[in-house]
Amino acid sequence: MLRVWGRLNSQNVQKVMWLLGELDLEHEHIPAGGSFGRLSDQDFGQLNPNRLVPVIEDRGATIWESHAILRYLAAQYGGVQLWPESPRERAAFDRWMDWCQSHWQPAFLSGVFWGYYRTPEQNRDWGAINASLSRCSELMMIIESVLTDKDYISGKNFTLGDIPFGSSLYRYFELDIERPSLPRVEAYYERLKMRPSYNKHVMIPFDELKGRRSF
């Protein structure tokens, strides 16, 4: 059976859990990382030399890097709905997955979630946090304009491209941070919240991470 390693309060693990729920795929979950430890065990190093989660094992393959896992699961189990045959159709959402990795996550996940929320108050670097917050606002305005004529990030239907960015929205809207006016992003977030798997795997309170850079 497909096996997933990771802690459920990790956003990168949540991306994978969300997709597993969308696909209704049976799996075994092994808590790892954070207070669950295991990442420095010798056998874990054989699964992922980077000693990070998520990792999946399936049909004899071991896969790490959350977006590579998403692509694998969609290609293996998603059918044409989630993994269209046309390279052009795949590129339409795939570019948003890379955009998220190269632009959004450094600004939000590293700059704000880690720099602000996961850093103890006395150690916060407000110059860096404010720069990340304004970068987040710039990037959000891009999404706001993209959503002018779309319900989802790359068109009228949910695609894999919604998972990396969408999985950060719960935290983005829950944090006590400054946000620009984002009516279309908020409507998009409401649409995601109606998906049972998003509700179950992404909308998980994360208070235990406040001010904790390590476990």
The smaller minimum CB distance to ligand GSH, of residues 9 and 137, is found at 9
- Least distance (Å) between residue 145 CB and ligand GSH: 26
User: Residues 5, 10, 21, 144: which binds ligand GSH (CB under 6 A)?
Assistant: 10
DSSP run (H or E) holding 203: none
Number of C-alpha atoms within 13 angstroms, CB side, residue 39? 17
- Name the residue among 15, 65, 52 with its Cα closest to residue 202: 15
168 is a site residue for ligand GSH (CB under 6 A): no
State the residue number with the nearest CB to ligand GSH. 33
Q: Which of 5, 21, 66, 96 binds ligand GSH (CB under 6 A)?
A: 66
Binders in 19-58 for ligand GSH, by CB under 6 A: 33-34, 39, 52-54
CA distance 86 to 92: 10
Among 4, 5, 7, 44, binds ligand GSH (CB under 6 A): 7
- Smallest distance from ligand GSH to CB 59, Å: 20
Kindly tell me the number of DSSP H helices and DSSP E strands found in the chain: 10, 4
Nearest CA to 204 out of 153, 178, 167, 160 is that of: 167
Number of residues that bind ligand GSH (CB under 6 A): 12
Measured CA distances, 18 to 8, 10, 125, 160, 188 (Å): 11, 12, 33, 11, 16
SS3 state at 86: coil
- In angstroms, what is the minimal distance from the CB of 64 to ligand GSH? 6
- Candidate residues 12, 132, 159, 167; the one interacting with ligand GSH per rule CB under 6 A: 12
Binding site for ligand GSH (CB under 6 A): 7, 10-12, 33-34, 39, 52-54, 65-66
